[in-house]
A and B are shown apart, each in its own frame.
Chain A
Amino acid sequence: MSAPTDDAAITAPTDTDPAEQPWRRLSVRVVWVDLAKTVLSLAPGVVAVGFFDVEPTLSTLWPLLLVALFGGLGAVTDIVRWAFTSYRVTETEIQRRTGAFVRRHRTVHLDRIRSVDTHAKLRHRAAGLRVVTVGAGQQNGAGEAALLLDALSKDDAARLRRELLGLAAPAAENADTEPDAEVLATLRPWWVVYNMFSVWAYLMAAGLLWGLFWLVSTFGVDLYGAASRAADWDALGWLGVTVAVLVVGGAVGAIGMGVNFFTAYWKFELARVRTGGSTHLRTRRGLFSTREVNRDEARLRGLSIGEPLLWRWMGMADTNVITTGLSVWDMEQPTAILPRGPVRVARRVAARVLGDPCPLDAPLPRHPRAALRRRLWWATAIGMVPPAAVAVPVASGSASPWVLWAAFGLWPLALSGAVFAYLALGHAIAGEYLVVRSGLMSRTTSALRCDAVSTIAVRQSILQRRLGLSTVSAMTAAGWSAYEAPDVAAGEAVGFAAQAAPGLIDEFAEGLGDDGGHVRID
């Protein structure tokens, strides 16, 4: 695509004086990739105008013009970005300078780096480019990576990753498994079943059909008209039409999700990579766009497995690591170490990551019945809000009575939700880990290392006080920042809190061990 000479001059060997590390640049191929992308996105329109005699008026051409305009602008900004961005790795830190009008100079200490993430879209791969994201602790939760380099040539990216993670240069470049990598899981094709069905399928179907509609309308085909003529919609009635749309949309969406899953998780592999003193959990995946994430195990604070309510019967589970420095809000889910898949696999992998006996397999005793009563009360209270809101209008005749009955419909749904939420509750201390389980829509079991707990809180509402319950929260810098054990028996709460954060509350506790002996005195 472009001559490799672009990079060669800039990335000269850097074994010279460490203080005088030369600044390195992004790959100039970024600009070409951008231009090529613009040309490609113009292609359908050009083909339509050139070969299909579509009349080139302003109304048919405005999408093309917009695409060309934005593409051109993108290429210009990329040239500017390329010209003004440089980075270097010194003994102790990585530095990046960027920005044309506002100069930014960012420095990240090497020992603060929690993760190095390499990914490439198809266009990057065609041009031999990689985007490198470096994650450090303080940006956790802000949704911003510490440092993003978009994009480096493949060799530069590999070299940077080695420098940042302190890896030795591998014998064979891009070998799939190094001798020091212990593979924990690889893709099983049938996991696609777990990834085809979700509410997002409908969004996907809508996107696909909308894109198709616009694409063929450029060629002068009216898809909507064709669909209208294909069936006698009036005969179906609105119920029939709804069902047909749901079924067709769901099918299109499910197939789309399936294809999407395979392209995203092709050649998926989770491995533990040992290098010198540190180990990393590394995932690699992707068919067209590839992604490799390295997570420092020294930053690992635990693991959580979420089981969505609607799919629990088929044992569907999401597996995420609890770690500092990786954003839980990232759309690409860098904390997920497995694709959505069977819970058996999730537990097996969890045991290998956290060690045997796995804290996630610890037995979690059921919470007191009062916790169920609290949930039922809340469900009732929430279920009564809609009827209360429409009570006056219905009573005075401004709204018809069926509105009131419809408003009551939420109640039974809320009550059954309360039961499921109660059954999900659980908490325990397993070895060095604190294990909590809760959640209605997604029952999430989290194991968090006790030494990672920074603040401990015990909360009690009026209703909880009457029912003899407390909620214990363990705050940490990693993952979701707070992990809660809702509705622990009040007498047990302080004991649990004391064990969850060893030594922290001892000086404030009194009468430890007097009531039941579930509290350690040391």
Chain B
Amino acid sequence: MTSVEAEAIAIRAPRLRIERRAVAWWMLRALSRWGPVLAALVVSYAVWEPARVWLVAPIVAASAVLAARLLVEPWWRYRVHRWEITERATYASSGWLVQEWRVAPTSRIQTVDAVRGPFEQLLGLSTLRVTTASSYGAVSIRGLDRRTAEEAAKRLAMVAELAEGDAT
């Protein structure tokens, strides 16, 4: 996949790919989120007899979601997620069913964070989060190697410091 959407969108994909370990991270995340939901439904199906007839549809739906998130989503996301940081902007693509690319100008950057959740720590991964003055304008780059993310954060913070104005 060389561009987000070959001819229709005339923008090239960001240059860099994310770590392959991110696939494992997405699998762990899917298990931790949808596993308990399915388990709770199955347990109530087994225990609570009068409600069985109402629980068939939710159980089927939850199993389908879990299967998709566990087996399809991580690999799909690995193909889509890409990133690139230049002097003037941060550019990243993400998503699977809903794909998105976003560009945030360096001159509007307010904070740069490297965030590491419990599963990410386990896998030595890190999420780079670049926020602008807009509460929806943050660019999150997931599945970076810990050191790569820290270096990128440091470099961005340095470049952003040079920009003038109150960045709104």
Q: Give residues in A with beta carbon < 8 Å to B.
A: 112, 137, 140-141, 324, 388-389, 391-393, 396, 398, 452, 454-462, 465, 468, 470, 473, 475-478, 481-482, 490-491, 493-495, 501, 504-505, 507-512, 514-515, 519
Q: Encode B1-40 as 1/0 by CB contact (under 8 A) with A.
A: 0010101111110100000000000000000000000000
- Whether B98 pairs with A508 at a CB distance below 8 angstroms is no
Bound-state Cα–Cα, A511 to B10, Å: 6
Establish whether residues B10 and A510, one from each chain, have CB atoms under 8 Å apart when the complex forms: yes
Report the Cα distance A458→B5, complex, angstroms. Answer: 11
Residue from A396, A452, A482, A493 within 8 A of B136 (CB atoms): A482
Q: Which residues from B are CB-within-8-Å of A476?
A: 133-134, 137
Partner of B8, one of A393, A490, A505: A490
Binds A, one of B50-58, B62-70, B113-121: B50-58
Contacts of B7 in A (CB 8 A): 515
Q: Do the beta carbons of A454 and B9 come within 8 Å of each other?
A: no
**Contact among A391, A393, A456, A512 for B103, CB-based, below 8 A:** A456
Contact residue among A324, A393, A493 (Cβ-Cβ distance under 8 Å from B168): A324
Interface contact A455-B11, CB-CB below 8 Å: no
Does the CB pair B12–A508 fall under 8 Å?
Answer: yes
* B80-111 contacts to A (CB < 8 Å): 84, 86, 88-89, 91, 95, 97-105, 108
Beta-carbon contact of A468 and B136 below 8 Å: no
Are the CB atoms of B11 and A505 closer together than 8 Å?
A: yes
Given contacts A137-B166, A460-B100, A508-B91, 14 further A-B contacts (CB under 8 A): A454-B134, A455-B132, A457-B102, A458-B100, A458-B101, A477-B132, A477-B168, A482-B136, A490-B8, A504-B89, A505-B11, A512-B10, A515-B7, A515-B10
Minimal beta-carbon separation of A413 from chain B (angstroms): 22
- Contact check, B166 vs A494: say whether CB atoms are below 8 A apart: no
Chain B residues near A112: list those with CB within 8 A: 166
How many residues in B have their beta carbons less than 8 Å from beta carbons of A? Answer: 40
A-B contact pairs, 5 of them (CB 8 A): A460-B5, A490-B5, A490-B8, A505-B103, A510-B10
Task: Give Cα A326–Cα B3 distance, bound, in whole angstroms.
Answer: 40
Contacts of A391 in B (CB 8 A): 57
A504 touches B166 (CB 8 A): no
Give the chain B neighbours of A494 by CB distance below 8 A: 9-11
Grouping DSSP codes into helix (H, G, I), strand (E, B) and loop, the B interface class, with mixed when no group exceeds half, is: mixed
Nearest-neighbour CB distance to chain A for B96, whole angstroms, equals 9
Chain A positions within 8 Å of B125 at CB level: none
Whether A475 pairs with B132 at a CB distance below 8 angstroms is yes
* CB closest residue in chain A, given B58: A389
Partner of A455, one of B5, B95, B137: B137
Report how far A504 CA is from B138 CA in the complex, Å: 16
Chain B residues within 8 Å of A504, by CB = 88-89, 103, 105
- Could you tell me the distance between the alpha carbons of A494 and B4 in the complex, rounded to whole angstroms? 12
B residues adjacent to A (C-beta < 8 A): 3, 5, 7-12, 14, 53-54, 56-57, 84, 86, 88-89, 91, 95, 97-105, 108, 132-139, 166-168
Cβ-defined contact, B9 with A455, below 8 A: no
Residues of B within 8 A of A510 (CB): 3, 10-12
Q: Which residue of A lies closest to B61 (CB)?
A: A388
Which 7 interchain pairs have the tightest Cβ spacing?
Answer: A477-B133, A475-B137, A455-B137, A457-B102, A475-B134, A477-B168, A482-B136
Select one of B9, B10, B11, B134 contacting A481, CB under 8 A: B134
CB distance from A232 to the nearest CB of B (A): 43
B10 touches A514 (CB 8 A): yes
Among B95, B102, B168, point to the contact of A456 (Cβ < 8 A). B102
Given contacts A468-B8, A478-B168, contact A392 B100 (CB under 8 A): no
Complex CA–CA separation, A389 to B60 (angstroms): 11
| A393 and B134 contacting across the interface, CB-CB below 8 Å | no
Contact check: which of B8, B53, B101, B136 meets A398 at CB < 8 Å? B53
CB pair A465–B11 under 8 Å, yes or no, is no
Give the complex CA separation of A169 and B8 in angstroms: 60
Distance (Å) between the CB of B42 and the closest chain A CB?
16
In the complex, which residue of chain B has the Cβ closest to the Cβ of A509? B11
Q: How far is the CA of A163 from the CA of B47 in the complex (A)?
A: 70
* Distance A519 CA – B139 CA, assembled complex (angstroms): 25
For B14, the chain A residues whose CB sits under 8 A away are: 508
Say whether, besides A137-B168, A393-B53, A455-B103, A461 and B134 are in contact (CB < 8 Å). no
The CA-CA distance from A473 to B104 in the complex, in Å, is 12
Q: How far is the CA of A457 from the CA of B8 in the complex (A)?
A: 16
Knowing A468-B8, A494-B9, the reply to whether A481 touches B88 (Cβ < 8 A) is no
Question: Which residues of the partner chain B approach A493 to less than 8 Å between Cβ atoms?
Answer: 9
CA distance A173 to B7 in the complex (A): 65
B108 touches A454 (CB 8 A): yes
Residue among B5, B8, B89, B97 having the largest count of chain A Cβ atoms under 10 Å: B8
In the bound complex, CA of A399 to CA of B79 (Å): 46
Chain B CB within 10 A, most for which of A391, A465, A504, A512: A504
Point out the residue from A396, A455, A481 that lies within 8 Å of B108, measured CB to CB: A455
Question: Which of B11, B54, B100, B135 makes the CB contact (< 8 A) with A459?
Answer: B100
Nearest CB of A to B100, in Å: 4
**Residues A509 and B134 in contact, CB atoms below 8 Å apart:** no
Contacts of B139 in A (CB 8 A): 455
Q: Is the CB of A509 within 8 A of B12?
A: yes
A139 to chain B minimum Cβ distance, whole angstroms, is: 12
Q: Is the beta-carbon distance between A392 and B5 smaller than 8 angstroms?
A: no
Residue of B nearest to A493 (CB): B9
Question: Bound state CA distance, A494 and B12, in angstroms?
Answer: 11
Q: Does B8 lie within 8 Å of A454, measured CB to CB?
A: no
Whether B12 and A455, one on each chain, are in contact in the complex, defined by CB atoms closer than 8 angstroms, is no
Query: Could you tell me the distance in whole angstroms from the C-beta of B160 to the nearest C-beta in chain A?
Result: 12
Contact A490 B103, beta carbon cutoff 8 Å: no
Q: Which of B9, B104, B132 has the most CB of A within 10 A?
A: B9
Report A-chain residues with C-beta under 8 Å of the C-beta of B101: 457-458
